C-alpha cells in the first residue's frame, strides 16, 4: 500500500516512543494511542507507569518502565542511555512531563519559579538535545512537545508555568528550524481543558465547570484520547511536512 494508503499513513509498527509522564492523564492517553498505532513504549517519569505499561502490553506491544526524576537535567542522559540499551533506538519523543505552581505574581517565590522552569523547559530542552543527537545520526525522528493554552494566553497566578509553556512553543520552532533538513520533525500539541486527575477539582466545581464548558465550542471537556489522536498524527508519516507547528487540541477554546 502507498504512503497515503489507509493503514500505512498512520502506521507506527516497529517504532519506539519515549513518553515522559506516561503514568496517568494525557501522558497515558498518548502512550496508549501510539501503542494502538503499533509503537512500543518506553514510559519514563518519577512515578512508575505500571497501569500504562500493562495496558500497552495488553495491546500486544512492548512496554517498559524507566525511573527518571525529570526535575533535574542530571536525569536526562541516564534515561536516554537506558532506553537505547533496552530498545536499541528511539523514533518518537513525547515531552509530556510537567508541573505547575500557583500564587499571585507579587507573592511568587524563586523556588516555585525554578522548580517549574527546570522541569517544564530546561529538562525538556536537554531531553530534546540528547534524543535529537540520536535521531540526527539516524536521519529521522519525531519530537512532540506538550505545550499549553498558556503558550498563547497569559493565564492568572501561574507565572512560571506561563513562561515555561511560552518557552516550549519557542523552542519547538527553533529546533524545527535547525533539524528539519536533518530528517527530524519537531512539533508541539497544546491541550485545552482535558478531563484528568489533575483537573478533577475544576470539574467538580459546578460554577467553574459550567463556565469552562460554555467557553468551549465543542461543549465538552477533552479526553486524553483526543490528545492521543493528535500525537499519532504528528508521530506518523501523515505529518511528514509539518514542522515547528503548535497544534491546539482544545475543542475550539482559542477560536472563541
Catalytic residue numbers read 161
Q: What angle do CA 38, 42, 45 make, to 5 degrees?
A: 140
Distances in whole angstroms, Cα of residue 42 to Cα of each of 17, 151, 169, 220: 6, 27, 24, 31
Residue ranges in the chain assigned as alpha helix (H): 25-36, 50-58, 76-87, 110-117, 123-138, 159-179, 200-204, 206-215, 224-235
How would DSSP label each residue in 49-113? Answer: -HHHHHHHHHTT--EEEEE--TTSGGGHHHHHHHHHHHHS---EEEE---------GGG--HHHH
CA 62 to chain CA centroid, nearest Å: 20
Residue 23 near residue 192 (C-beta atoms within 8 A): no
Amino acid at each position: 500500500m502507498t504512503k497515503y494508503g489507509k493503514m500505512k499513513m498512520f502506521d507506527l509498527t516497529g517504532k519506539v516512543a519515549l513518553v515522559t509522564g506516561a503514568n496517568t492523564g494525557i501522558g497515558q492517553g498518548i502512550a496508549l494511542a501510539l501503542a494502538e498505532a503499533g509503537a512500543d513504549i518506553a514510559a519514563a517519569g518519577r512515578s512508575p507507569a505500571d497501569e500504562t505499561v500493562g495496558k500497552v502490553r495488553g495491546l500486544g506491544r512492548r512496554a517498559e518502565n524507566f525511573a527518571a526524576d525529570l526535575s533535574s537535567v542530571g536525569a536526562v542522559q541516564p534515561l536516554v542511555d537506558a532506553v537505547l540499551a533496552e530498545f536499541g533506538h528511539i523514533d518518537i519523543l513525547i515531552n509530556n512531563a510537567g508541573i505547575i505552581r500557583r500564587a499571585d505574581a507579587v507573592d511568587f517565590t524563586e523556588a516555585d519559579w525554578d522548580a517549574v522552569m527546570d522541569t517544564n523547559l530546561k529538562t525538556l530542552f536537554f531531553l530534546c538535545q540528547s534524543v535529537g543527537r540520536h535521531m540526527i545520526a539516524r536521519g529521522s525522528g519525531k519530537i512532540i512537545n506538550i505545550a499549553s493554552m498558556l503558550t498563547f494566553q497569559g493565564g492568572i497566578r501561574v507565572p512560571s508555568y506561563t513562561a515555561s509553556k511560552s518557552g516550549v512553543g519557542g523552542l519547538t520552532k527553533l529546533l524545527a528550524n535547525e533539524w528539519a533538513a536533518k530528517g527530524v520533525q519537531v512539533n508541539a500539541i497544546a491541550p485545552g481543558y482535558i478531563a484528568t486527575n489533575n483537573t478533577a477539582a475544576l470539574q467538580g466545581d459546578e460554577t467553574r465547570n459550567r463556565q469552562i464548558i460554555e467557553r468551549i465550542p465543542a461543549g465538552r471537556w477533552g479526553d486524553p484520547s483526543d490528545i492521543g489522536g493528535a500525537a499519532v498524527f504528528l508521530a506518523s508519516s501523515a505529518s511528514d511536512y509539518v514542522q515547528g507547528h503548535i497544534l491546539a487540541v482544545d475543542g475550539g477554546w482559542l477560536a472563541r
